[in-house]
Structure 1
Amino acid sequence: MLIQQIFTEKIAHSSYILAGERTCAVIDPRRDIEIYLEMTRELGIRITHILETHLHADFISGHMDLAQRTGARIYGPRSANYEIEYIPLSEGDIFTIEDMELKVLETPGHTPEHISYVVTDTSRGKEPVALFCGDTMFVGDVGRPDLFPGRAEELASGLYDTLHDKLMGLPDFCEIHPAHGAGSLCGRAMASKRTSILGYEKKYNYALEIKDRAGFIEALTTNMPDAPDHFSRCTEINRKGPQMVKELTFPDALDNDRFKEKMKDSIILDVRSFESFGGQHIPQAYNIDLNSNFPTYAGWLLPPEKDILLVTDSYSQAFEACKQLHRVGHDRITGYLEGGMYGWVTDGLPTKHVPQISASELHTRITDGKEAIILDVRSASEYRDLHLEGAINIPVHELRERHSELDKELETILICGSGQRSSMGCSILLQKGANDVKNVSGGMTGYSAAGYGPECPMCVLPWAPFRNR
């Protein structure tokens, strides 16, 4: 038995190849499936099973593409009620892949329809050796139960039963293979380690240490991070079946005139760095830096009913942006600006810019007492941990509605961890009619590094969900 993990950065998603000598299963595949085909070719094995643990919320599954390319059957929770062809699974179902026996456990809590796969390598022993638990249990955490409005306490209670009555009864040496790691918003406190064993999690996973049901429910339903907008969209797309990736054409390379014509009915997404966006950008454009947590924020901030036009530094950047947009269900990408911003400005076409404020400039403005709004667009928990005196907190995704709380005539200085989320915020405020916005380049990380404040607890963690974003 061989287990190969495939970790997808930014969405922090783990999928798996579970292989025997000749055949294998792919568990919770991502949408761009070439990596599974390449790896199985190298291993000399054939994909015969595609196993889904639940209706994924944060990404579009590659189950249909993989099935079409390989002829493998799709397996998933019976209660998911997929509209695609699949083999429905329920509690106690058992099937085999060569010497591996897979037993199905219904493990609701993160989602109502969730299942897990308990694997026994019968060539070596009779006890379970691996658990593919999807988003039920993570390393150091458990799945959040608050994604379904009005059902958080019900699902948290179900998750308590799942953990204590089913999963924790497996052998302590049983390996834990979750569907996400640190950086995902499917949980709250995932560790940086990507796999674990059950005995270790029993001892050190904070959620498993809460023995009282009421305390567990309270812990899992309070102070949870906001759930991005695309979570509910992705769930439904996965249930109905996404469009095949091979049917998605690469967007047209557009000259300035064609780009201007399409702008009337589209949104403009500038994926360049916040420094480049600040220098010159097309009016009304969103800025989501491709080097940031791009797919999460693209899914969160961009209206799904609109076509998307890309502004990039290169063809390769446009290609990468498309791949990551497809992962979160944004398929309506109709073009990219072929000549980039250089071609745009040398044609004398209109632009906007966002002045970049350094840490020292910001500190001088604060100490001089100059009137301005300092707007911290990080999450509420990051703000509670550390923030500038006098700064107000509106997380970047909330600016789409809460922009009206700000005086748009006042100078507004936006800050986040590094300058990326605050640049997103600047682009939103400019769309909403703000007249004077500035971005703190380097954010709280730079401000602390310059000696003007203590270290931001989240900014210094290399595996933190929003580090340098």
Structure 2
Amino acid sequence: MDVVVIETPQLGDRSYLVHDGTVALVIDPQRDIDRVEAAAADAGVRITHVAETHLHNDYVTGGLVLAKAHGADYWVNGADEVSFARIPVSDGQVLRVGRLLVTVVATPGHTHTHLSYVVRDDVPDGGPEAVFSGGSLLYGSVGRTDLISPHDTATLAHQQYSSVRRLVDSAKPDAALYPTHGFGSFCSIGPASHQDSSTIGEETESNHALTDPNEDHFVSELLANITAYPAYYAHMSPLNAAGVGPAHLAVPDSVDAKELDRRLTAGEWVVDLRNRVAFADNHLHGSVSFEYGRGDNFTSYLGWVIPWKQPLTLLGPRDEVEKAIRDLARIGIESPDAAVGPHGRTIDLGALAPESPQVSYPHGDWNLLSRERKPEDVVLDVRRPEEFEASHVLGALNVPVHELLGRITELPEARTWVHCATGYRASVAASLLDRTGREVVLIDARFRDAAGAGIETS
């Protein structure tokens, strides 16, 4: 048995290609299946089986398309109500993939119908095992239990506690653990873990879901740590149940100048992918900043902030637009339009939209705030409430960036200094405020550096 890990850091997820040297099982594939196909080609194996651990809430699966493309069996829990043909699987089944045996284990908690898969070689002593746990047992914690319904959250948390125990009893202590979530995904909850690998035995000794002897205590702590998750999640499970076709990843022809001017004037969503400082220094009036390529924030925050299924135009160098289209396809944002410049080169905004004004706003670090802040100015913290409660600038207002569009009218009409933890969310928020005509200053700095600049924090 060999396991190939296919990372999607933009969403904090992993997919897996498990093979015996000849045929392969793919678990929880992302929608851009060409990466999986490339991994199979590199390994010299045929994809004969595709499996889902659950109907995903954070991305559109590529499982159905991949299975059809390769004539593979598509395993989905028989209890899931779906609109496509699949091979229904259920707890306790032992299935064969070439020389591999796959045991299906029911692990409800992340969803009601969640499954995990224990894979081993079909040899007399069983050989090494691998556990594919989806959103059940993660490195250091478990998958969140509040994505189905507020009424189900506590029940699913109790089920999660039981499920992970059942899962570890279904595998050897030295079995390698391969979760789908937990690498920055909003689908995880509880103590953050920066592990890159783990085993069932290691998790038994360290994972709070397995070391806490009191189920009620575990559940209460889990529920106390529930935080907001991206708004687009509400659309993912229904899309996955309906079955989604292939992703269209080609960069479209650039919209002409008059059309881009019209979109900006009409208030459509024109997303500028350039560096956030370059955007602050000069951008098309009405566009918004979602910097591409710094960290892994782009997909989640764009899907969270911009209203679902609104017309979308990506503005940036062609290579960045191409990558952004791939990222957005993973969350069901289909075929956005584009206003593109040369590969990796400076964009001539005037050529892209000659009738649209070019504007700017100031930016700087905490020292700029310390020097130039006036008594009537507002400091706006766009981090999540739990971050604000842990520590914040004295006198700051807190409106999380994902709530800002609906709450801009609550803010005082004053110059607004915007910050977050690193500058990314602040740059999005600053552009949203600028779009409405507010006077804004971007604090492009880490929050942890505020005190060192003489800024009073709680």
TM-score, normalising length from structure 1?
0.89
Q: CA RMSD in A?
A: 2.4
| 1:83 equivalenced with 2:83 (yes/no) | yes
Counterpart contact for 1:128–1:170, Cα < 8 Å: no
| TM alignment of 1:11-410, pairs within 5 A | 11-123=11-123, 125-126=125-126, 129-149=129-149, 150-168=151-169, 170-188=171-189, 189-246=191-248, 249-263=250-264, 264=266, 266-291=268-293, 292=295, 293-312=297-316, 314-338=317-341, 340-344=347-351, 347=354, 349-365=356-372, 370-407=375-412, 409-410=413-414
User: How much identity, in percent, do the aligned residues show?
Assistant: 28
Residue 440 of structure 2 is aligned with which of 433, 437, 442?
Answer: 437
Counterpart contact for 1:273–1:289, Cα < 8 Å: yes
Q: Could you tell me how far 1:124 is from its partner in structure 2?
A: 5.9
Measured in 2, the distance between the counterparts of 1:236 and 1:128 equals 36
Amino acid corresponding to residue 83 of structure 1 in structure 2 = S
Measured in 1, the distance between the counterparts of 2:455 and 2:16 equals 43
| TM alignment of 1:448-463, pairs within 5 A | 452=454
Q: Could you tell me how far 1:98 is from its partner in structure 2?
A: 2.0
Counterpart contact for 1:259–1:337, Cα < 8 Å: no
Unaligned runs of 5+ in 2: none
Deviates more, 1:160-169 or 1:389-398: 160-169
Amino acid corresponding to residue 259 of structure 1 in structure 2 = L
Amino acid corresponding to residue 22 of structure 1 in structure 2 = T
In structure 2, the CA distance between the partners of 1:358 and 1:215, relative to structure 1 (3 Å rule), is same
Deviates more, 1:142-151 or 1:329-338: 329-338
Measured in 1, the distance between the counterparts of 2:131 and 2:261 equals 52
Measured in 2, the distance between the counterparts of 1:52 and 1:454 equals 49
Measured in 2, the distance between the counterparts of 1:17 and 1:345 equals 43
Q: Could you tell me how far 1:231 is from its partner in structure 2?
A: 1.0
In structure 2, the CA distance between the partners of 1:342 and 1:218, relative to structure 1 (3 Å rule), is same
Amino acid corresponding to residue 211 of structure 1 in structure 2 = P
Match of 1:460 in 2: none
Partner SS state of residue 311, structure 1? strand
Measured in 2, the distance between the counterparts of 1:424 and 1:324 equals 18
Deviates more, 1:344-353 or 1:329-338: 344-353
Partner SS state of residue 79, structure 1? coil
Amino acid corresponding to residue 440 of structure 1 in structure 2 = I
Counterpart contact for 2:367–2:453, Cα < 8 Å: no
Match of 1:466 in 2: none
In structure 2, the CA distance between the partners of 1:428 and 1:225, relative to structure 1 (3 Å rule), is same
Deviates more, 1:233-242 or 1:138-147: 233-242
Partner SS state of residue 25, structure 1? strand
Measured in 2, the distance between the counterparts of 1:444 and 1:190 equals 20
Q: Could you tell me how far 1:79 is from its partner in structure 2?
A: 1.9
Q: Could you tell me how far 1:335 is from its partner in structure 2?
A: 2.8
TM-score, normalising length from structure 2?
0.91
Counterpart contact for 2:20–2:98, Cα < 8 Å: yes
Partner SS state of residue 196, structure 1? coil
Match of 1:464 in 2: none
Q: Could you tell me how far 1:241 is from its partner in structure 2?
A: 1.3
Amino acid corresponding to residue 358 of structure 2 in structure 1 = T
Amino acid corresponding to residue 410 of structure 1 in structure 2 = A
In structure 2, the CA distance between the partners of 1:455 and 1:168, relative to structure 1 (3 Å rule), is farther
Unaligned runs of 5+ in 1: 457-469
Counterpart contact for 2:90–2:106, Cα < 8 Å: yes
